[in-house]
Structure 1
């Protein structure tokens, strides 16, 4: 019989925050892709808006026509699910929905679930956002003697600095070492496209209004994440002199970006470090690792023949 050997295992140590990654955070991980799809399905009800989700066929259970916004169909389905049918006396159930109706129901109901988890701090959302749209430019006539060119340029620079400061705060907030995402392990899950700038980043805080009194107004998820000044003009619209009013609605046309999405691993992995030929050697090695990583991040395993405990058939 071979001599008994011992193996040492450790949790992953993230040197950026000097913390062990246990992957045991109870908070649910919501991908940016899922959040954006649910948010768009639930919030965008204007059929003329470019990012609106519309049905591809007539609804079997509600009779709504093809091209109906997802949220409109969802509300109609809820009404039929909550009230008895006047002819049959029965209520509509999820099992009776068509394939497209189930997609609509799943997206919109999932949005409501995520909003509740945000309110109770039971989830974290993947952050994928690019700089919001702004139209920080101006035009004027050389014949206009009353136009304050230098003052306008100062206002433009002030607006740009304000946006840059907000973006810096976003990055700083995400890099806090108490961010639950630092206690999660992910695997690569391909690439996707996002327009996450439609999202409100700071769910529990406020976004400034356009007045000069310093007042604040609470903005709910689904709005722009950072204050946006003078969104791009619509085709054919004349160039307007800049004003520093705040936009409280997401622009109809927004740039999107490609990013590499990640999927959270739902395991608590231990990583192999080394094999020792005696318990004393294993304990000495483990003691060194405990001093670095902590007692809860180090484990010693004993190698024994499998048939010592299990009869293999």
Structure 2
């Protein structure tokens, strides 16, 4: 006799439970790897913000979020086509967004001087040194600097110093250096900052990101008591950025096919990577916090090398020589 209550194939199988478990595990991993969201909804109405490298990736997401919080945002970019496209996207998404596009090439000291000389803002409230390159072969600029060193660090070093009068004109200005976890493996060779001996792109990138942390540390000391704070951050491992175009992980279709699912699972998207930049820009409790290093919206310790005060001072003095500016005076407490 036929069974009057036939079993549902789904309920008689383990597969629905296995699939449900896999989905739950993947969701938990993605949530954990996504990191901490900016914990404050603080607005920055009327504040003027300059973000380098903001036509795409984390820079774009930072600009979008700060525009939605009332900031007047300047997209400081080398790629004007991309920057104008980004500006249009932001104005479509954020009602009454105030977006300005201005050209700057961080690999050219001349371009940086021109950017500052033609900047008509009387004050700058927030400067986010976000632009960067990675995985580039060895190449020097016309001014004699290795690409990673000048684009990621030295150009931002000069830009920050040239903007100091406008930063100091703001009530409580913030300088934010977007470094990287790669600074942990970085080292500084003051006699070979271009890394012309045994060059590798990975080491050049690590050095440039370490230099940004040391810059924040030393400038904070020298500007103690001023209205300007200088901090650095690690955005985490972020996918879908222009860095990935030259990555070994993008070297072939086969590698992409094998690796990209894991990248999706284990890396942040650009909006998640931007959260610590946003936090350092808006958090009222950080108004007098300076010289620190942040990750996932929390102050943490950088590498031991990044805490070397003598190295920070020596790199600072050397950098001033390279860009031909007068060093800020040392703190009287030293």
Q: Could you state the TM-score of these two structures normalised by the residue count of structure 1?
A: 0.24
Q: Which has the higher helix share?
A: 2
Task: Specify the structure having the higher radius of gyration (Cα).
Answer: 1
Q: Which has the higher strand share?
A: 1
